[in-house]
Amino acid sequence: MTHPNILDGADAVLVVIDIQDPLLKTIHEADRVVENTIKLVEAAKIFNLPILVPLQYASRLGDVTKPIADVLPSAQRFDKMTFSCLGSPDFLNALNETGRKQVILCGIESHVCVNQTAHDLLMQGFKVHVIKDAVSSRTAGNWITSIEKMRDSGCVISSVETAIFELTQDSSSPEFKKILPIVK
**Catalytic sites, residue numbers:** 18, 80, 113
Beta bridge partners of 176: none
Contact 107/19 with Cβ under 8 angstroms? yes
The arrangement of strands across the sheet holding 76-80 comes to 76-80, 51-56, 12-17, 102-108, 127-136, 156-158
Half-sphere exposure of 49 (CA within 13 A, CB side): 32
Distance CA 91, CA 28 (A): 27
Q: Which residues contact 70 (CB under 8 A, 6 or more apart)?
A: none
CB atoms within 10 A of CB 60: 9
Residue 152 dihedral angles phi and psi, to the nearest 5°: -60, -30
Q: Looking at residue 82, what DSSP letter applies? A: S
